[in-house]
């Protein structure tokens, strides 16, 4: 049973914000703490005037900073979470910029989850000697969910109503595919796919959503949905020269978890 409710904290000492998902914290950081770079601004608007104004504002902020340098905001120490009282191993979730969580776990449970983690935990690697692995590039919400299930902390598992969008499910599929641990979440996946899957099956999906559903259906072995999405993508997309990349209106979109031969060249 879960002993405590876990929240992802904002990494800055001056901010008390807490979130039930790492993805929500990322949005908070982007909206409140991080200086928007021209690239980030461009992703949000096509209006050239607004872009020019934003760039000007950014330059002025830089000049202002150069004249009166301000110390960087203080950061919190890493968060701690124990999933197992007799934990003999630490998994570090998240990256330094967003904030990190050290999770105390059982190395045996890790080994049972994933053959990749088993090698890292038992092989001749730094991760085995230090009894710690950092996963800064992986989706923290997905890794934490997999670890919670592996340690029978079922209260941490999202229900049908709290399971998030296909973007959430897609992040989970990418992590499960990478570490070959699909089996850990298999009993819940159909429940989480729920309404989103029905929509994808019943009507013409948006292309970008179809790309996500292709990865999801491949990873979790949903043949019916995989065939439907693959057919849709083949009809609507144009092959690029790079394997696993399709072009939609000249925009490249990459498959992350589906098999290399799903979309040929
Ligand atoms: Zn904050």
Three-state SS string over the chain comes to CCCCCCCEECCECCCCCEECCHHHHHHHHHHHCCCCCHHHHHHHCCCHHHHHHHHHHHHHHHHHHHHCCCCCCCECCCEEEECCCCCCEEEEECCCCCCCEEEEECHHHHHHHCHHHHHHHHCCCHHHHHCEEEECCCCHHHHHHHHHHHCCCHHHCCCCCCCCCHHHHHHHHHHHHHHCCHHHHHHHHHHHHHHHHHHHHHCCCCHHHHHHHHHHHHHCCCHHHHHHHHHHHHHHCEECCCCCEEEECCEEEECCCCCCCCCCC
Range with the lowest mean pLDDT among 82-96, 131-145, 152-166? 152-166
Range with the lowest mean pLDDT among 34-48, 96-110, 146-160, 233-247? 34-48
| Helices 182-202 & 223-236 angle (0-180, nearest 10) | 50
Closest by CA position to 13, among listed 72, 75, 71:
75
Percent over 90 (pLDDT), the chain: 50
Closest by CA position to 14, among listed 58, 70, 86:
70
- What lies within 8 Å, CB to CB, of 240 at 6+ separation is 246, 247, 252, 265
What's the CA-to-centroid distance between 209 and ligand 1, angstroms? 30
Q: How confident is the model at residue 261 (pLDDT cuts 50, 70, 90)?
A: low
> Cα dist. 184→112, 142, 187, 257 in Å?
9, 11, 8, 17
What's the CA-to-centroid distance between 138 and ligand 1, angstroms? 21
Give residue 85's pLDDT.
92
What's the CA-to-centroid distance between 30 and ligand 1, angstroms? 9
**Max Cα distance, the chain (Å):** 62
* Position 162 pLDDT exceeds 60: no
What's the CA-to-centroid distance between 127 and ligand 1, angstroms? 31
Q: How confident is the model at residue 200 (pLDDT cuts 50, 70, 90)?
A: confident
pLDDT digits (tens, 9 = 90+) for 13-36: 999 999 989 999 999 999 999 876
What's the CA-to-centroid distance between 125 and ligand 1, angstroms? 36
What is the rounded CA–CA span in Å between residue 161 and residue 163?
6
pLDDT digits (tens, 9 = 90+) for 113-148: 999 999 999 999 999 999 999 999 999 999 999 999
What's the CA-to-centroid distance between 95 and ligand 1, angstroms? 16
Give residue 260's pLDDT.
62
* Position 46 pLDDT exceeds 70: no
- Please give the structure tokens belonging to residue 264: 């040929």
Architecture of domain 75-157: 2-Layer Sandwich (3.30)
Q: How confident is the model at residue 265 (pLDDT cuts 50, 70, 90)?
A: very low
What's the CA-to-centroid distance between 244 and ligand 1, angstroms? 37
CATH 3.30.710 intervals, the chain: 75-157
- What lies within 8 Å, CB to CB, of 16 at 6+ separation is 10
């Amino acid at each position: 049973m879960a002993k405590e409710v876990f929240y992802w904290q904002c990494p800055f000492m001056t901010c008390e914000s807490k979130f039930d998902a790492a993805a929500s914290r990322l949005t908070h950081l982007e909206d409140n703490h991080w200086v928007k770079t021209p690239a980030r601004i461009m992703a949000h608007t096509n209006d050239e005037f607004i872009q020019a104004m934003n760039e000007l504002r950014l330059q002025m902020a830089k000049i202002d900073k150069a004249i009166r340098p301000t110390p960087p905001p203080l950061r919190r120490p890493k968060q701690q979470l124990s999933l197992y009282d007799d934990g003999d191993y630490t998994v570090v979730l998240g990256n330094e910029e967003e904030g990190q969580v050290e999770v105390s776990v059982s190395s045996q449970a890790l080994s049972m989850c994933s053959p990749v983690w088993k090698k890292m935990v038992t092989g001749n690697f730094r991760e085995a000697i230090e009894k710690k692995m950092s996963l800064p590039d992986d989706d923290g919400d997905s890794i934490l969910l997999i670890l919670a299930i592996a340690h029978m902390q079922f209260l941490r598992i999202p229900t049908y109503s709290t399971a998030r969008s296909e973007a959430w499910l897609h992040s989970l599929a990418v992590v499960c595919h990478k570490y070959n641990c699909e089996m850990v979440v298999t009993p819940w996946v159909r429940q989480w796919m729920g309404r989103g899957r029905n929509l994808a099956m019943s009507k013409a999906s948006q292309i970008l959503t179809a790309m996500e559903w292709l990865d999801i259906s491949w990873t979790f072995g949903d043949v019916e949905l995989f065939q439907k999405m693959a057919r849709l993508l083949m009809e609507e997309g144009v092959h690029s020269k790079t394997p696993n990349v399709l072009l939609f209106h000249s925009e490249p979109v990459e498959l992350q978890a589906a098999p290399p031969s799903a979309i040929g060249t």
